[in-house]
Amino acid sequence: MSAAGFDWPALMRAGMQGLRLMPDAFWRLTPAELLMMLGDAPGVAPMDRAGLEALAARFPDMTQKEADDVGAE
């Protein structure tokens, strides 16, 4: 894809303001990586509420006691 195919000001705003990427991190991304992070990659949808709940169920937060026990090991 040519440079003319990208709206650089909009992509920079989305990356640096929306995603809060530092400029060096933004410029290291490939266009495909940036589009995926923005939820615009073909076949890749942003995580919805059900996906977040499934992820939280799979990796639950630790209680403070559990975290203390892990730190003591």
* pLDDT, tens digit, 9 for 90 and up, residues 22-41: 999 999 998 878 877 887 66
23 token code pair: 């400029």
Q: For the chain, how many structural domains are there in total?
A: 1
pTM above 0.85, yes or no: no
Share of the chain above pLDDT 90, in %: 18
* 70 pLDDT above the threshold of 90: no
Residue 28 lies in domain: 3-72
- CA-CA distances (angstroms) from residue 7 to 22, 45, 58? 19, 21, 38
Helix (H, G, I), strand (E, B) or coil at 48: coil
- Mean pLDDT value across residues 64-68: 84
Kindly tell me the burial class for residue 33, based on how many C-beta atoms sit within 10 Å of its own C-beta (0-12, 13-18, 19 or more): exposed
Q: Residue 43 carries which DSSP code? A: T
